[in-house]
Amino acid sequence: MKKLLPLAGLLCLLFTAASAQNGKQAAEKSDPEAQKILERVRKKYEKHKTLEAEFTLTLELPDRPKEVQKGVIAQEGQKFRLEMDQQTIASDGKTTWVFLKTEKEIQITNAEPNGESGFMTPRELLNRYQKGDYLYAITEKTRDGGKALTHIEFKPVSRRSEYAKLRVSIDESAQLVERIIAFGRDGSRFTFQITRFTPDKSFKAGYFQLNPKDHPGVRVEDLRM
């Protein structure tokens, strides 16, 4: 589960000169009101040096029982750390460590700051919409637990995306992403629900790294090129 929805995405598409041109076309066809909301939320995220969010991840896969996991994601620039029951993923922007706890294995790879790994946080998603990966529009506005939510649906421009669409729910009062639902082309669905958001938290030195020596008995697979 190397992707935030394992993270299946919240999906990164690689950009080429051709996709950049598609981005201009996509922006022209997207909902202007949705764009204004996304821009306000994006600017709020960008004000913070660091972000930390507790979340619940619900996985619904074809022919398998529903699975619910909880975790914490932290980000500082290109650095991030994802903590879940079965795994930890940490990256200092140069190196990425994936600790598979059940298998007692740590995989080490080169970090992919351009998003090739498929890892994405809510802040990254808000940056991606500007670059033309998605067409997007408001689908509805609802109230949930006293919060006024605006729901925006994203459809990937590229047919190579493993996701058919994303639904992003935004708390307009707090100007924060509340929930992201990713629909896989294979019938899977991943719901990423943020339960607590903490901006500008200080992290200790080395927090975005993972030292195999701190986990005796694990197998280390160094896959760096």
Distance CA 115, CA 13 (A): 7
Partner residues linked to 140 by β-bridges: 151
Question: What's the predicted TM-score (pTM) here?
Answer: 0.77
pLDDT of residue 162: 78
Domain of residue 183: give its range.
17-222
- CATH number of 111's domain: 2.50.20.10
Distance CA 2, CA 9 (A): 9
Assigned domain for 118 exists: yes
Assigned domain for 85 exists: yes
pLDDT of residue 128: 58
Q: Give the SS3 label for residue 204.
A: coil
Assigned domain for 127 exists: yes
pLDDT of residue 182: 86
pLDDT of residue 131: 65
Assigned domain for 4 exists: no
**Total domain count, the chain:** 1
Assigned domain for 197 exists: yes
pLDDT of residue 138: 96
Assigned domain for 77 exists: yes
pLDDT of residue 60: 94
Assigned domain for 162 exists: yes
pLDDT of residue 2: 37
Paired sense of beta strands 79-84 and 87-91, if any: antiparallel
Give CB contacts under 8 A, 24+ apart, made by 91-94. 91/119, 91/208, 92/208, 92/209, 93/208
pLDDT of residue 9: 34
Assigned domain for 177 exists: yes
pLDDT of residue 225: 79
pLDDT of residue 126: 56
Q: Closest by alpha carbon to 54, among 81, 76, 20? A: 81
pLDDT of residue 44: 85
**pLDDT tens series, the chain, 225 aa:** 334 334 433 323 222 222 223 344 444 588 899 889 888 888 888 888 998 989 898 989 999 999 998 989 888 888 889 898 888 989 898 999 999 999 999 999 998 755 444 445 555 555 555 667 788 999 999 998 889 999 999 888 888 877 888 898 999 899 888 998 889 889 999 898 989 999 999 999 999 999 999 999 999 999 997
Distance CA 83, CA 100 (A): 11
